[in-house]
Amino acid sequence: MKVSYHGHSVVKIETNGKVILIDPFITGNPKTDLKVEEVTVDAIILSHGHGDHVGDTVELAKKHNAVVIAPFELATFLGWKGVNTHPMHIGGSHAFEFGTVKFTQAFHGSSYVDEENQTITYTGMPAGIVFTAEEKTIYHAGDTALFSDMKLIGSRHTIDVAFLPIGDNFTMGPGDAALAAEWIGAKIVVPMHYNTFPVIEQDPYQFVGKLTGSVGKVLEAGEGIEL
């Protein structure tokens, strides 16, 4: 299995001959190395409905006939746009041909914002993602605050790589994310959701310096880890 980071909260997993993208915010993302026209994907997993996470999902899913795995309300909303979806919800897991997906809780919001018409559509509860394949487990926390049940996630799963937001303002900052890493107990911790916009500027190397018990690894866009 190979897992790679592509700026903001975009993560690509290559396993069992399939390509899975998490939160494919590509167009308008100044920190990504990906180009929509060059991406191939078999499945897309979404943590929540904000534009900087749903990103190019509809275009990519239609182009590649990729299944979109998302919390129920978000999956329903995207299904109305002609996308093939598999709805799930927090606490539930499902075994796909490429691996098992489980949604965990996350403390954040989830909505589609229509700036032109000044409307906000609720897209269900936000989620974290636990992905397991080839006897390896990846945890993508989505956008979230620190919450004590991260200890439960760590006790229920042996996590090889955890992607944690550190940007502050909208999510955990570096201090809370370091505590989250301690509770989760992942072997490797990768910071995400930082430096995309001025309000979430952080020093990822300072963050990994705070970690104890986990190996912190800063990945530039396009860099990956072989598991």
Residue 39 lies in a domain: yes
The model's pLDDT over 177-217, given as tens digits with 9 standing for 90+, comes to 999 999 999 999 999 999 999 999 999 999 999 999 999 99
Residue 222 lies in a domain: no
Residue 82 lies in a domain: yes
The model's pLDDT over 122-152, given as tens digits with 9 standing for 90+, comes to 999 999 999 999 999 999 999 999 999 999 9
Residue 223 lies in a domain: no
Residue 51 lies in a domain: yes
- Give the CATH number, domain containing residue 191: 3.60.15.10
Band (pLDDT 50/70/90 cuts) for residue 16 is: very high
What's the predicted TM-score (pTM) here? 0.98
- The torsion of the CA quartet 103, 108, 114, 119, rounded to 10 degrees, works out to 110
Tokens of 225: 């880890």
Residue 226 lies in a domain: no
Determine the distance from the C-alpha atom of residue 226 to the mean position of all C-alpha atoms in its chain, rounded to a whole number: 18
Residue 224 lies in a domain: no
Structural domain of 198:
2-217
The number of folded domains in the chain is 1
Q: What percent of the chain has pLDDT over 90?
A: 100
Asked whether the beta carbons of 184 and 155 are under 8 A apart, the reply is: no
The model's pLDDT over 112-130, given as tens digits with 9 standing for 90+, comes to 999 999 999 999 999 999 9
pLDDT at 216: 98
Residues 117-138 as b/e (b if ≥16 CB within 10 A, e otherwise) read eeeeeebbbbbbbbbbbeebbb
Determine the distance from the C-alpha atom of residue 78 to the mean position of all C-alpha atoms in its chain, rounded to a whole number: 17
Residue 36 lies in a domain: yes
